[in-house]
Structure 1
Amino acid sequence: MMLMRNLSLFSTFLAAFVLVVGAVSTFDSKALAAGQTLEELLADRTLGDPDAPVAIYEYASLACPACAGFHAEVLPKLKEKYIDTGKAKLIYRDYPTGGDGGARATIAAMLARCAPPEQYFGFLNVLFRTQASWFSAPDPVAALAQIGQLGGIDAQTFEACMNDEALFNGIRDAQIRYGKEFDVESTPTLIFNDDEERMVSNRGWEALDAIMTGLVE
Protein backbone atom coordinates (compact mmCIF):
# COMPACT_ATOMS: atom_id res chain seq x y z
CA MET A 1 0.00 0.00 0.00
CA MET A 2 0.99 3.64 -0.40
CA LEU A 3 1.56 3.94 3.35
CA MET A 4 4.05 1.09 3.37
CA ARG A 5 5.93 2.38 0.29
CA ASN A 6 6.18 5.99 1.37
CA LEU A 7 6.81 5.92 5.12
CA SER A 8 10.54 5.44 4.59
CA LEU A 9 10.71 9.01 3.25
CA PHE A 10 9.79 10.67 6.53
CA SER A 11 12.41 12.74 8.35
CA THR A 12 10.37 14.77 10.82
CA PHE A 13 7.80 13.93 13.44
CA LEU A 14 5.02 15.71 11.57
CA ALA A 15 5.72 14.00 8.27
CA ALA A 16 5.89 10.63 9.97
CA PHE A 17 2.65 11.28 11.79
CA VAL A 18 0.80 12.12 8.59
CA LEU A 19 2.15 9.07 6.77
CA VAL A 20 1.57 6.65 9.60
CA VAL A 21 -1.93 7.61 10.61
CA GLY A 22 -3.33 9.55 7.70
CA ALA A 23 -3.48 7.07 4.84
CA VAL A 24 -5.90 4.36 5.93
CA SER A 25 -9.09 4.65 7.94
CA THR A 26 -10.97 1.50 6.92
CA PHE A 27 -10.10 -0.77 9.84
CA ASP A 28 -11.58 -0.87 13.32
CA SER A 29 -8.34 -0.96 15.29
CA LYS A 30 -10.08 -1.35 18.64
CA ALA A 31 -11.54 -4.63 17.43
CA LEU A 32 -8.45 -5.85 15.63
CA ALA A 33 -5.61 -4.95 17.98
CA ALA A 34 -5.76 -8.12 20.04
CA GLY A 35 -9.30 -7.21 21.15
CA GLN A 36 -8.08 -4.34 23.33
CA THR A 37 -9.76 -0.99 23.87
CA LEU A 38 -7.75 2.22 23.57
CA GLU A 39 -7.57 2.48 27.36
CA GLU A 40 -6.18 -1.05 27.53
CA LEU A 41 -3.69 -0.39 24.74
CA LEU A 42 -2.33 2.65 26.58
CA ALA A 43 -2.26 1.09 30.05
CA ASP A 44 1.01 0.61 31.93
CA ARG A 45 2.64 -2.76 31.33
CA THR A 46 3.91 -4.54 34.44
CA LEU A 47 6.59 -7.20 34.66
CA GLY A 48 6.30 -9.22 37.86
CA ASP A 49 3.84 -9.50 40.71
CA PRO A 50 1.54 -6.44 40.69
CA ASP A 51 1.56 -6.58 44.50
CA ALA A 52 5.36 -6.58 44.81
CA PRO A 53 6.50 -4.02 47.42
CA VAL A 54 9.02 -2.12 45.28
CA ALA A 55 7.78 -0.42 42.12
CA ILE A 56 10.31 0.46 39.43
CA TYR A 57 8.98 2.81 36.76
CA GLU A 58 11.04 2.57 33.59
CA TYR A 59 10.76 5.40 31.06
CA ALA A 60 12.39 4.18 27.88
CA SER A 61 12.49 4.60 24.12
CA LEU A 62 12.67 1.71 21.69
CA ALA A 63 15.05 3.86 19.63
CA CYS A 64 17.43 4.47 22.55
CA PRO A 65 20.70 2.43 22.44
CA ALA A 66 21.23 2.85 26.18
CA CYS A 67 17.75 1.44 26.77
CA ALA A 68 18.56 -1.52 24.54
CA GLY A 69 21.72 -2.07 26.55
CA PHE A 70 19.76 -1.95 29.79
CA HIS A 71 17.29 -4.56 28.55
CA ALA A 72 20.06 -6.82 27.27
CA GLU A 73 22.54 -6.57 30.12
CA VAL A 74 20.83 -5.31 33.28
CA LEU A 75 17.17 -6.27 33.18
CA PRO A 76 17.85 -10.05 33.17
CA LYS A 77 19.78 -9.69 36.44
CA LEU A 78 17.13 -7.42 37.93
CA LYS A 79 14.46 -9.91 36.93
CA GLU A 80 16.28 -12.88 38.41
CA LYS A 81 17.18 -11.28 41.75
CA TYR A 82 14.24 -9.01 42.47
CA ILE A 83 11.31 -9.45 40.08
CA ASP A 84 11.05 -13.23 39.90
CA THR A 85 11.42 -13.42 43.68
CA GLY A 86 8.45 -11.10 44.25
CA LYS A 87 10.49 -8.27 45.75
CA ALA A 88 9.91 -5.79 42.94
CA LYS A 89 7.88 -5.12 39.82
CA LEU A 90 8.85 -3.19 36.70
CA ILE A 91 6.30 -0.81 35.18
CA TYR A 92 7.29 0.09 31.63
CA ARG A 93 6.29 3.45 30.14
CA ASP A 94 7.02 4.64 26.60
CA TYR A 95 9.07 7.80 26.21
CA PRO A 96 9.80 7.89 22.46
CA THR A 97 13.03 9.59 21.38
CA GLY A 98 15.15 9.72 18.24
CA GLY A 99 16.52 12.04 15.60
CA ASP A 100 13.21 11.81 13.75
CA GLY A 101 11.33 13.36 16.65
CA GLY A 102 10.54 9.97 18.13
CA ALA A 103 8.34 8.83 15.23
CA ARG A 104 10.00 5.46 14.65
CA ALA A 105 10.13 4.78 18.38
CA THR A 106 6.43 5.61 18.62
CA ILE A 107 5.32 3.24 15.87
CA ALA A 108 7.51 0.50 17.38
CA ALA A 109 5.83 1.15 20.73
CA MET A 110 2.46 0.89 19.00
CA LEU A 111 3.39 -2.54 17.63
CA ALA A 112 4.29 -3.84 21.09
CA ARG A 113 1.09 -2.45 22.58
CA CYS A 114 -1.04 -4.04 19.87
CA ALA A 115 0.31 -7.47 20.81
CA PRO A 116 -1.59 -9.51 23.41
CA PRO A 117 -0.60 -8.16 26.86
CA GLU A 118 1.07 -11.43 27.85
CA GLN A 119 3.41 -11.06 24.85
CA TYR A 120 4.27 -7.42 25.50
CA PHE A 121 7.65 -7.84 27.16
CA GLY A 122 8.59 -10.48 24.63
CA PHE A 123 7.97 -7.96 21.86
CA LEU A 124 9.98 -5.33 23.75
CA ASN A 125 12.88 -7.75 24.00
CA VAL A 126 12.84 -8.45 20.26
CA LEU A 127 12.45 -4.77 19.35
CA PHE A 128 15.38 -3.78 21.54
CA ARG A 129 17.57 -6.62 20.23
CA THR A 130 16.81 -5.71 16.60
CA GLN A 131 16.80 -1.95 17.19
CA ALA A 132 19.68 -1.13 14.83
CA SER A 133 18.03 -3.10 12.04
CA TRP A 134 14.45 -1.80 12.03
CA PHE A 135 15.31 1.75 13.08
CA SER A 136 17.73 2.27 10.18
CA ALA A 137 15.75 0.25 7.62
CA PRO A 138 14.80 2.09 4.39
CA ASP A 139 11.20 1.15 5.20
CA PRO A 140 10.86 0.86 8.99
CA VAL A 141 7.19 -0.05 8.82
CA ALA A 142 7.95 -3.05 6.61
CA ALA A 143 10.69 -4.09 9.02
CA LEU A 144 8.30 -3.81 11.96
CA ALA A 145 5.66 -5.75 10.02
CA GLN A 146 8.10 -8.65 9.74
CA ILE A 147 8.70 -8.59 13.48
CA GLY A 148 4.97 -8.48 14.09
CA GLN A 149 4.38 -11.41 11.76
CA LEU A 150 6.99 -13.50 13.55
CA GLY A 151 5.17 -12.69 16.80
CA GLY A 152 1.80 -13.77 15.43
CA ILE A 153 0.34 -10.37 14.48
CA ASP A 154 -1.40 -10.77 11.13
CA ALA A 155 -1.26 -8.19 8.35
CA GLN A 156 -4.74 -6.79 9.00
CA THR A 157 -4.10 -6.29 12.71
CA PHE A 158 -0.72 -4.71 11.98
CA GLU A 159 -2.25 -2.35 9.42
CA ALA A 160 -4.95 -1.31 11.87
CA CYS A 161 -2.41 -0.80 14.63
CA MET A 162 -0.13 1.38 12.52
CA ASN A 163 -3.05 3.58 11.53
CA ASP A 164 -4.55 4.03 14.99
CA GLU A 165 -4.30 7.80 15.38
CA ALA A 166 -5.67 7.70 18.93
CA LEU A 167 -2.99 5.22 19.99
CA PHE A 168 -0.25 7.29 18.34
CA ASN A 169 -1.48 10.46 20.04
CA GLY A 170 -1.98 8.67 23.35
CA ILE A 171 1.65 7.55 23.48
CA ARG A 172 2.90 11.02 22.62
CA ASP A 173 0.56 12.73 25.09
CA ALA A 174 1.71 10.38 27.84
CA GLN A 175 5.31 11.28 27.09
CA ILE A 176 4.53 14.97 27.58
CA ARG A 177 2.74 14.16 30.83
CA TYR A 178 5.67 12.11 32.13
CA GLY A 179 7.98 15.03 31.49
CA LYS A 180 5.75 17.49 33.33
CA GLU A 181 4.66 15.30 36.25
CA PHE A 182 7.80 13.26 36.87
CA ASP A 183 10.58 15.44 35.40
CA VAL A 184 11.58 12.76 32.91
CA GLU A 185 13.94 14.29 30.37
CA SER A 186 15.98 11.41 28.96
CA THR A 187 16.02 7.66 28.55
CA PRO A 188 16.34 5.36 30.25
CA THR A 189 15.08 6.86 33.49
CA LEU A 190 14.17 4.61 36.42
CA ILE A 191 12.02 6.00 39.23
CA PHE A 192 11.63 3.86 42.33
CA ASN A 193 8.38 3.92 44.29
CA ASP A 194 7.18 7.50 44.80
CA ASP A 195 10.49 8.97 43.57
CA GLU A 196 12.24 7.49 46.60
CA GLU A 197 15.23 6.89 44.34
CA ARG A 198 16.00 7.73 40.73
CA MET A 199 18.53 6.46 38.21
CA VAL A 200 19.11 8.26 34.92
CA SER A 201 20.89 6.52 32.05
CA ASN A 202 22.11 2.93 32.04
CA ARG A 203 24.60 3.02 34.91
CA GLY A 204 24.96 -0.74 34.99
CA TRP A 205 23.92 -3.58 37.25
CA GLU A 206 26.09 -2.68 40.22
CA ALA A 207 24.56 0.79 40.55
CA LEU A 208 21.04 -0.59 40.21
CA ASP A 209 21.67 -3.43 42.64
CA ALA A 210 22.93 -0.95 45.23
CA ILE A 211 19.71 1.05 44.97
CA MET A 212 17.58 -2.08 45.14
CA THR A 213 19.44 -3.40 48.17
CA GLY A 214 18.56 -0.25 50.07
CA LEU A 215 14.91 -0.44 49.04
CA VAL A 216 14.21 -4.06 49.89
CA GLU A 217 15.92 -4.09 53.28
Structure 2
Amino acid sequence: MKQIIPLVVAALVGVGAYFAFVHEPNATVAQVASTELAAPSSSESVNNADGDADAEVDISTIPDILIGNPDAPVTVIEYASPTCPHCATFANEVLPGFIEAYVDTGKVYLITRPFVRNVLDAAVFMLAEAAGPDNYHNVVATYFKTQTTWASSDKPRDAILEIAKQLGFTQETFDAALTNQALFTGMEAVREQALNDFGLVGTPTFYVNGKTLSGDKTLEELAAAIDPLVPADFVAPTPVAADAMAPAADAMAPADAMAPAADAMAPAAQ
Protein backbone atom coordinates (compact mmCIF):
# COMPACT_ATOMS: atom_id res chain seq x y z
CA MET A 1 0.00 0.00 0.00
CA LYS A 2 1.39 3.41 -0.95
CA GLN A 3 2.13 6.10 1.58
CA ILE A 4 -0.64 8.62 0.88
CA ILE A 5 -1.27 11.99 2.52
CA PRO A 6 -4.46 13.75 1.47
CA LEU A 7 -4.53 17.37 0.44
CA VAL A 8 -7.29 19.69 1.56
CA VAL A 9 -9.85 20.83 -0.98
CA ALA A 10 -12.01 23.66 0.31
CA ALA A 11 -15.19 22.30 -1.22
CA LEU A 12 -18.41 23.40 0.43
CA VAL A 13 -21.21 20.96 -0.22
CA GLY A 14 -24.83 22.00 0.04
CA VAL A 15 -26.38 23.93 2.93
CA GLY A 16 -24.57 21.91 5.61
CA ALA A 17 -21.22 22.61 4.00
CA TYR A 18 -18.29 20.43 4.99
CA PHE A 19 -14.81 19.72 3.73
CA ALA A 20 -14.29 17.15 1.01
CA PHE A 21 -10.89 15.85 0.03
CA VAL A 22 -8.71 14.06 -2.44
CA HIS A 23 -5.31 12.57 -1.83
CA GLU A 24 -1.83 12.82 -3.24
CA PRO A 25 0.40 9.73 -3.56
CA ASN A 26 3.98 9.25 -2.45
CA ALA A 27 4.05 11.28 0.77
CA THR A 28 5.58 9.45 3.73
CA VAL A 29 5.84 9.52 7.49
CA ALA A 30 9.08 11.47 7.01
CA GLN A 31 7.00 14.44 5.87
CA VAL A 32 5.06 14.34 9.11
CA ALA A 33 8.27 14.48 11.12
CA SER A 34 9.89 17.02 8.81
CA THR A 35 10.55 20.60 9.78
CA GLU A 36 8.98 21.45 6.42
CA LEU A 37 5.42 20.67 7.47
CA ALA A 38 3.20 22.92 5.38
CA ALA A 39 -0.12 24.39 6.38
CA PRO A 40 -3.07 23.07 4.36
CA SER A 41 -4.08 25.20 1.42
CA SER A 42 -7.68 26.27 0.95
CA SER A 43 -7.31 26.13 -2.81
CA GLU A 44 -5.09 23.11 -3.60
CA SER A 45 -6.63 20.16 -5.38
CA VAL A 46 -5.48 17.10 -7.31
CA ASN A 47 -7.30 14.38 -9.15
CA ASN A 48 -7.99 11.25 -7.13
CA ALA A 49 -6.66 8.98 -9.82
CA ASP A 50 -3.87 7.14 -8.05
CA GLY A 51 -5.56 5.53 -5.08
CA ASP A 52 -5.11 1.91 -4.03
CA ALA A 53 -8.75 0.87 -3.78
CA ASP A 54 -7.85 -2.81 -4.17
CA ALA A 55 -4.90 -2.79 -1.78
CA GLU A 56 -5.17 -4.83 1.39
CA VAL A 57 -5.36 -2.61 4.44
CA ASP A 58 -4.60 -3.38 8.07
CA ILE A 59 -6.37 -1.32 10.70
CA SER A 60 -5.27 -3.50 13.60
CA THR A 61 -2.55 -1.00 14.57
CA ILE A 62 -5.17 1.72 15.12
CA PRO A 63 -7.47 1.00 18.07
CA ASP A 64 -10.90 2.56 18.08
CA ILE A 65 -11.34 5.26 20.71
CA LEU A 66 -14.34 4.13 22.73
CA ILE A 67 -16.49 6.09 25.16
CA GLY A 68 -19.61 5.02 26.99
CA ASN A 69 -21.80 1.98 27.46
CA PRO A 70 -20.84 -0.95 25.17
CA ASP A 71 -24.41 -2.24 25.52
CA ALA A 72 -26.00 1.06 24.51
CA PRO A 73 -28.87 0.77 22.02
CA VAL A 74 -27.13 3.21 19.68
CA THR A 75 -23.56 3.22 18.41
CA VAL A 76 -22.24 6.41 16.84
CA ILE A 77 -19.00 6.35 14.86
CA GLU A 78 -17.41 9.72 14.10
CA TYR A 79 -14.68 10.36 11.54
CA ALA A 80 -13.00 13.72 12.05
CA SER A 81 -9.90 15.64 10.96
CA PRO A 82 -8.05 18.16 13.17
CA THR A 83 -7.63 20.68 10.31
CA CYS A 84 -11.33 20.56 9.39
CA PRO A 85 -13.09 23.75 10.63
CA HIS A 86 -16.47 22.03 10.81
CA CYS A 87 -14.98 19.21 12.88
CA ALA A 88 -13.61 21.85 15.25
CA THR A 89 -17.01 23.51 15.51
CA PHE A 90 -18.59 20.17 16.38
CA ALA A 91 -15.88 19.29 18.89
CA ASN A 92 -15.94 22.67 20.59
CA GLU A 93 -19.64 23.52 20.55
CA VAL A 94 -21.70 20.34 20.14
CA LEU A 95 -19.76 17.40 21.48
CA PRO A 96 -19.77 18.32 25.20
CA GLY A 97 -23.57 18.52 25.20
CA PHE A 98 -23.83 15.35 23.14
CA ILE A 99 -21.72 13.43 25.64
CA GLU A 100 -23.78 14.73 28.54
CA ALA A 101 -27.13 13.91 26.91
CA TYR A 102 -26.33 10.60 25.24
CA VAL A 103 -23.02 9.06 26.27
CA ASP A 104 -23.14 9.73 30.02
CA THR A 105 -26.73 8.48 30.11
CA GLY A 106 -25.77 5.17 28.51
CA LYS A 107 -27.83 5.68 25.37
CA VAL A 108 -24.89 5.98 22.96
CA TYR A 109 -21.62 4.13 22.56
CA LEU A 110 -19.32 6.65 20.90
CA ILE A 111 -16.47 5.49 18.65
CA THR A 112 -14.11 8.09 17.24
CA ARG A 113 -11.78 7.35 14.35
CA PRO A 114 -9.03 9.45 12.76
CA PHE A 115 -9.39 10.65 9.21
CA VAL A 116 -6.09 12.00 7.93
CA ARG A 117 -6.44 14.58 5.16
CA ASN A 118 -2.95 16.08 5.32
CA VAL A 119 0.32 15.93 7.23
CA LEU A 120 -0.95 18.25 9.96
CA ASP A 121 -3.85 15.89 10.69
CA ALA A 122 -1.40 13.02 10.85
CA ALA A 123 0.83 14.90 13.28
CA VAL A 124 -2.02 15.66 15.69
CA PHE A 125 -3.37 12.11 15.66
CA MET A 126 0.12 10.65 16.13
CA LEU A 127 0.64 12.87 19.16
CA ALA A 128 -2.75 11.83 20.57
CA GLU A 129 -1.91 8.15 20.17
CA ALA A 130 1.49 8.68 21.80
CA ALA A 131 -0.20 10.36 24.77
CA GLY A 132 -2.09 7.16 25.52
CA PRO A 133 -5.79 6.24 25.69
CA ASP A 134 -6.50 8.22 28.86
CA ASN A 135 -5.16 11.43 27.31
CA TYR A 136 -6.09 10.89 23.67
CA HIS A 137 -9.27 13.00 23.71
CA ASN A 138 -7.65 15.83 25.63
CA VAL A 139 -4.87 16.09 23.06
CA VAL A 140 -7.25 16.11 20.09
CA ALA A 141 -9.61 18.52 21.87
CA THR A 142 -6.73 20.89 22.63
CA TYR A 143 -5.77 21.05 18.96
CA PHE A 144 -9.39 21.63 17.96
CA LYS A 145 -9.60 24.48 20.48
CA THR A 146 -6.43 26.04 19.10
CA GLN A 147 -6.99 25.17 15.43
CA THR A 148 -6.93 28.77 14.22
CA THR A 149 -3.49 29.20 15.79
CA TRP A 150 -1.53 26.24 14.46
CA ALA A 151 -3.39 25.22 11.28
CA SER A 152 -2.94 28.64 9.69
CA SER A 153 0.59 29.26 10.95
CA ASP A 154 3.39 29.82 8.46
CA LYS A 155 5.41 27.48 10.71
CA PRO A 156 2.79 24.91 11.72
CA ARG A 157 5.27 22.35 13.01
CA ASP A 158 6.62 24.87 15.51
CA ALA A 159 3.10 25.84 16.52
CA ILE A 160 2.09 22.19 16.98
CA LEU A 161 5.23 21.58 19.04
CA GLU A 162 4.54 24.51 21.37
CA ILE A 163 1.06 23.16 22.11
CA ALA A 164 2.47 19.65 22.55
CA LYS A 165 4.91 20.94 25.16
CA GLN A 166 1.98 22.37 27.11
CA LEU A 167 0.48 18.89 27.04
CA GLY A 168 3.60 17.33 28.54
CA PHE A 169 5.64 16.39 25.48
CA THR A 170 9.34 17.09 25.23
CA GLN A 171 11.23 17.66 22.00
CA GLU A 172 12.35 14.03 22.17
CA THR A 173 8.91 12.50 22.74
CA PHE A 174 7.43 14.81 20.11
CA ASP A 175 9.96 13.68 17.53
CA ALA A 176 9.45 10.02 18.47
CA ALA A 177 5.67 10.32 18.10
CA LEU A 178 6.00 11.75 14.60
CA THR A 179 8.24 8.96 13.34
CA ASN A 180 5.96 6.04 14.18
CA GLN A 181 5.72 4.36 10.77
CA ALA A 182 3.37 1.58 11.90
CA LEU A 183 0.91 4.12 13.28
CA PHE A 184 1.12 6.26 10.15
CA THR A 185 0.46 3.23 7.94
CA GLY A 186 -2.46 2.20 10.13
CA MET A 187 -4.05 5.64 9.86
CA GLU A 188 -3.80 5.39 6.09
CA ALA A 189 -5.60 2.06 6.31
CA VAL A 190 -8.39 3.58 8.40
CA ARG A 191 -8.79 6.33 5.81
CA GLU A 192 -8.84 3.90 2.89
CA GLN A 193 -11.43 1.72 4.66
CA ALA A 194 -13.65 4.77 5.22
CA LEU A 195 -13.31 5.84 1.60
CA ASN A 196 -13.59 2.49 -0.14
CA ASP A 197 -15.81 0.45 2.19
CA PHE A 198 -17.99 3.00 3.95
CA GLY A 199 -18.41 5.61 1.21
CA LEU A 200 -17.17 8.51 3.30
CA VAL A 201 -16.99 11.71 1.23
CA GLY A 202 -16.08 14.42 3.73
CA THR A 203 -15.50 15.29 7.35
CA PRO A 204 -17.06 15.23 9.77
CA THR A 205 -19.08 12.09 9.04
CA PHE A 206 -21.16 10.16 11.55
CA TYR A 207 -22.58 6.64 11.35
CA VAL A 208 -25.59 6.17 13.64
CA ASN A 209 -26.26 2.43 13.88
CA GLY A 210 -24.91 2.28 10.35
CA LYS A 211 -26.85 5.23 8.94
CA THR A 212 -24.63 7.89 7.40
CA LEU A 213 -24.89 11.52 8.48
CA SER A 214 -22.45 13.75 6.60
CA GLY A 215 -21.37 17.24 7.51
CA ASP A 216 -21.40 19.25 10.70
CA LYS A 217 -24.45 18.45 12.81
CA THR A 218 -26.19 20.24 15.63
CA LEU A 219 -27.23 18.43 18.78
CA GLU A 220 -30.83 18.64 17.59
CA GLU A 221 -29.98 17.00 14.27
CA LEU A 222 -28.17 14.16 16.00
CA ALA A 223 -31.04 13.77 18.44
CA ALA A 224 -33.47 13.38 15.55
CA ALA A 225 -31.45 10.41 14.30
CA ILE A 226 -30.75 8.85 17.71
CA ASP A 227 -33.93 9.28 19.76
CA PRO A 228 -36.10 6.93 17.64
CA LEU A 229 -33.50 4.20 18.18
CA VAL A 230 -33.63 4.35 21.98
CA PRO A 231 -36.34 2.05 23.41
CA ALA A 232 -39.09 3.78 25.33
CA ASP A 233 -38.38 1.57 28.33
CA PHE A 234 -34.64 2.18 28.25
CA VAL A 235 -33.15 2.41 31.73
CA ALA A 236 -29.82 4.10 32.09
CA PRO A 237 -27.12 1.92 33.62
CA THR A 238 -24.74 3.05 36.30
CA PRO A 239 -23.33 6.37 35.12
CA VAL A 240 -20.64 5.84 32.51
CA ALA A 241 -17.39 7.70 33.01
CA ALA A 242 -16.48 9.69 29.93
CA ASP A 243 -13.86 12.24 29.14
CA ALA A 244 -15.23 15.74 28.79
CA MET A 245 -13.31 16.05 25.52
CA ALA A 246 -11.93 19.35 26.76
CA PRO A 247 -8.33 20.48 26.89
CA ALA A 248 -6.59 19.38 30.05
CA ALA A 249 -5.85 22.05 32.59
CA ASP A 250 -2.66 20.30 33.67
CA ALA A 251 0.18 19.07 31.52
CA MET A 252 -0.07 15.44 30.46
CA ALA A 253 2.85 13.07 30.21
CA PRO A 254 2.82 11.03 26.99
CA ALA A 255 2.26 7.34 27.58
CA ASP A 256 4.75 4.73 26.42
CA ALA A 257 2.24 2.38 24.83
CA MET A 258 -0.90 2.54 22.77
CA ALA A 259 -4.15 1.02 23.94
CA PRO A 260 -4.94 -2.52 22.74
CA ALA A 261 -6.85 -2.66 19.49
CA ALA A 262 -10.63 -2.87 19.74
CA ASP A 263 -12.80 -4.84 17.39
CA ALA A 264 -13.65 -2.73 14.37
CA MET A 265 -17.30 -1.96 13.82
CA ALA A 266 -18.14 -1.46 10.20
CA PRO A 267 -20.99 0.90 9.33
CA ALA A 268 -23.80 -0.98 7.65
CA ALA A 269 -23.95 -0.67 3.87
CA GLN A 270 -26.52 1.86 2.72
Q: TM-score range by the shorter chain?
A: 0.7 to 0.9
SS where residue 86 of structure 1 aligns?
coil
Distance 1:181 1:13 in 2: 20
1:47-86 to 2 correspondence within 5 Å? 47-86=67-106
Q: What letter corresponds to residue 104 of structure 1 in structure 2?
A: L
Deviates more, 1:73-82 or 1:39-48: 39-48
Q: What letter corresponds to residue 73 of structure 1 in structure 2?
A: E
1:117-132 to 2 correspondence within 5 Å? 117-132=133-148
SS where residue 138 of structure 1 aligns?
coil
1:140 and 2:118 equivalent? no
Partner of 1:156: 172
What is the TM-score with the length of structure 2 in the denominator?
Answer: 0.63
On the 8 A contact 2:29/2:179 being kept in 1, the answer is no
1:192 and 2:204 equivalent? no
Partner of 2:125: 109
1:20 and 2:28 equivalent? no
Partner of 2:51: none
1:45-77, Cα deviation, whole Å (9 max, x unpaired): 112233333110001111111111111121111
Identity over aligned residues, as a percent? 34
Distance 1:118 1:166 in 2: 21
Distance 1:17 1:138 in 2: 20
Q: What letter corresponds to residue 198 of structure 1 in structure 2?
A: T
SS where residue 47 of structure 1 aligns?
strand
1:4-43 to 2 correspondence within 5 Å? 14=26, 17-21=29-33, 42-43=62-63
Distance 1:212 1:158 in 2: 39
In structure 2, do the counterparts of structure 1 residues 210 and 108 end up closer, same or farther at CA, with 3 Å as the change threshold?
A: same
Distance 1:155 1:171 in 2: 23
| C-alpha deviation, 1:78, in angstroms | 0.9
Distance 1:107 1:15 in 2: 13
On the 8 A contact 2:127/2:174 being kept in 1, the answer is yes
| C-alpha deviation, 1:203, in angstroms | 2.8
Q: CA RMSD in A?
A: 2.3
Distance 1:141 1:51 in 2: 40
SS where residue 223 of structure 2 aligns?
helix
Distance 1:116 1:17 in 2: 20
Distance 1:82 1:148 in 2: 30
| C-alpha deviation, 1:154, in angstroms | 2.6
| C-alpha deviation, 1:40, in angstroms | 8.1
SS where residue 118 of structure 1 aligns?
coil
In structure 2, do the counterparts of structure 1 residues 109 and 132 end up closer, same or farther at CA, with 3 Å as the change threshold?
A: same
1:174-208, Cα deviation, whole Å (9 max, x unpaired): 10111111111110100012x1x221101312111
Distance 1:43 1:167 in 2: 10
Partner of 2:215: 201
Distance 2:139 2:33 in 1: 22
Distance 1:80 1:41 in 2: 30
Moved over 4 A (4+): 12-17
Show structure 1 runs of 5+ residues with no match.
Answer: 1-11, 24-38
Partner of 1:166: 182
What is the TM-score with the length of structure 1 in the denominator?
Answer: 0.77
Q: What letter corresponds to residue 75 of structure 1 in structure 2?
A: L
Q: What letter corresponds to residue 214 of structure 1 in structure 2?
A: P
On the 8 A contact 2:73/2:229 being kept in 1, the answer is no
Distance 1:105 1:73 in 2: 20
More helix by share: 1
Q: What letter corresponds to residue 72 of structure 2 in structure 1?
A: A
